[in-house]
Chains A and B, each alone.
Chain A
């Protein structure tokens, strides 16, 4: 049993995030997709073509 629940039985937000595989999957794919892939691709396609 998780020892993260508060006295009133509610679960902290961070614990809810860590307990949600789908949410973690989404941020785990989105973070590198944005910062690494999309940003990198945008930089490449913005290189002007040689005349």
Chain B
């Protein structure tokens, strides 16, 4: 029989088994963010020509560990915490199969540890993609497989819990939108993990000498079904967080539930097909396959992202205007709680993801334009605009609400927390921008030394490329300070934070409680489309989108002189 506690802040009934699992997954995520972030800083300092910190072998080791620990381990542990939170807490439901959830956690932790040891031993510097014929130690693949099996068990627990919650009528009608978003992320996770299993199990057997050969093109096609779809889980999880924070802080409901759900359905159908943009210059695959998967299908997923990008600020504007912030186009935004890291982190994530990660993703997904920047530093520039300033910043924002609420402790450094999203967002936003700038000038990704000092045939990049790489290093240091403040705040709050003092008089009329329970846990729309400020923001975004797209076609036209 499940045991529950009642959260004094929100009134949520929380299953104690779920409570523990959410906390353990979230804490483990933050530990791996620290490890992966440190490796990332080393990578950035090595690519800074004036510093050039690591020798070549350690650079590739650090790059491999950075990719695995932040792109997979930090993100997936946090996402597991998030889907358990959505399934159990937002639905007021008991966790089904908690023992399976713990088995999943142990497999994920063990797998992550095994892969990290394999990388740190120096025998597996094959980078995140681990393309054959480069072969890592067999433990490298085994660890990822165990991690993936653990994550699949977490998906199973999520589905079992939401189906049981429906049967036990812990909620009425349709799933709340935030939980529906979490379910969309989990569906994408299932495809992602299955793709990983299909290709990494034979690759593991190959590393054990039980298989003679892995076809490199076959590996790339199936591996990207795992490697890129795993980042699509992030996109959906971060958007669910945007909706959740809008509901928690403002009591905001989506402008239209139907449209937002329709947008999530577009993700379920099409988002994972975007994996193909990694293969746009690969031989052996037809243009029909490339263009269908990256253009026709991807654009439907992009449409979904633009719907969410419009409806989340629109929902906030509608809620703010109901409270009387009606002056001009933007009083609702000016009077938003910019000193609250939950809001500032979420809103920066929305803006930076759209302008840096979103627009550039569409550009990269266009077969003709992709050739300008393929395999240059532009590519990591793009995904630092999605996974770092989009997903990671959204996860940080959510943590500022989740950790004090679940642990019932005050933030240990509230003053630093106010500044942290700006510091991290600015630093990593600039990292993304400078990487894309350097990539546009031709600087390759994954390269230890852009000066080619020990190469037989040298190459001189324009001076601007060196400047960009230097600025990238400075920005990475700023972003790392932001990340360090976040980690310090989270770990400090959990270990040494002051217990929250219950305020019974205030609790009866606390605005947060009805907002959270009302907006994040029920079905319904804002009931208005009068959001002029949001439409102006959307027009600014679309103008930037069109200009950037046009500039890249213009740039492409100059690559080969035609007369």
Chain B nearest CB: distance from A45 CB in Å? 8
Tell me the interface secondary structure of chain B in the complex.
helix
**Total count of chain B residues near the partner, CB < 8 A:** 47
In the complex, the answer to whether A28 meets B174 with C-beta atoms within 8 Å is no
In the complex, the answer to whether B293 meets A3 with C-beta atoms within 8 Å is no
B169-189 to A contact mask, C-beta < 8 Å, 1/0: 000111100001001100110
In the complex, the answer to whether B159 meets A28 with C-beta atoms within 8 Å is no
CB-CB contacts below 8 Å: A21-50 with B: 21-22, 24-25, 27-29, 31-33, 35-37, 39-41, 43-44, 47
CB-CB contacts below 8 Å: A1-36 with B: 1-4, 15, 17-19, 21-22, 24-25, 27-29, 31-33, 35-36
Chain A nearest CB: distance from B488 CB in Å? 38
A3 vs B180: C-alpha distance when bound (angstroms): 16
- List residues of chain A with CB under 8 Å of any chain B CB: 1-4, 15, 17-19, 21-22, 24-25, 27-29, 31-33, 35-37, 39-41, 43-44, 47
In the complex, the answer to whether A40 meets B221 with C-beta atoms within 8 Å is yes
In the complex, the answer to whether A18 meets B187 with C-beta atoms within 8 Å is no
- Known interface pairs A3-B524, A31-B270. Does A43 touch B289 (Cβ–Cβ under 8 Å)? yes
In the complex, the answer to whether B225 meets A36 with C-beta atoms within 8 Å is yes
Would you call B292 an interface residue if the criterion is a C-beta within 8 Å of the partner chain's C-beta atoms?
yes
Chain B nearest CB: distance from A44 CB in Å? 5
In the complex, the answer to whether A47 meets B222 with C-beta atoms within 8 Å is no
- Ranked nearest first, the 6 interchain pairs of A and B with the lowest CB-CB distance are A2-B173, A28-B187, A32-B272, A1-B173, A2-B174, A28-B268
Would you call B83 an interface residue if the criterion is a C-beta within 8 Å of the partner chain's C-beta atoms?
no
A40 vs B286: C-alpha distance when bound (angstroms): 9
Chain B nearest CB: distance from A33 CB in Å? 7
B285-314 to A contact mask, C-beta < 8 Å, 1/0: 110010011000100000000000000000
A26 vs B180: C-alpha distance when bound (angstroms): 15
In the complex, the answer to whether B268 meets A27 with C-beta atoms within 8 Å is yes
Chain B nearest CB: distance from A10 CB in Å? 14
A29 vs B194: C-alpha distance when bound (angstroms): 9
Which residues of B lie under 8 Å from residue A27 when comparing CB positions?
268-269
A39 vs B276: C-alpha distance when bound (angstroms): 11
* B190 touches which of A15, A25, A36, A37 (Cβ 8 Å): A25
In the complex, the answer to whether B225 meets A28 with C-beta atoms within 8 Å is no
A sample of 8 more A-B contacts (CB under 8 A), given A37-B195, A47-B284, is A1-B172, A2-B523, A28-B191, A29-B190, A32-B273, A36-B275, A43-B289, A44-B218
In the complex, the answer to whether B173 meets A40 with C-beta atoms within 8 Å is no
Chain A nearest CB: distance from B445 CB in Å? 23
Instruction: Please name 5 pairs of A and B residues whose Cβ atoms are closer than 8 Å in the assembled complex, sorted by A.
Output: A28-B184, A28-B268, A29-B187, A36-B293, A37-B195
A2 vs B265: C-alpha distance when bound (angstroms): 17
In the complex, the answer to whether A44 meets B217 with C-beta atoms within 8 Å is yes
Which residues of A lie under 8 Å from residue B174 when comparing CB positions?
2, 4, 15, 18-19
Which residues of A lie under 8 Å from residue B187 when comparing CB positions?
24-25, 28-29
Would you call B151 an interface residue if the criterion is a C-beta within 8 Å of the partner chain's C-beta atoms?
no
Which residues of B lie under 8 Å from residue A29 when comparing CB positions?
187, 190-191, 194
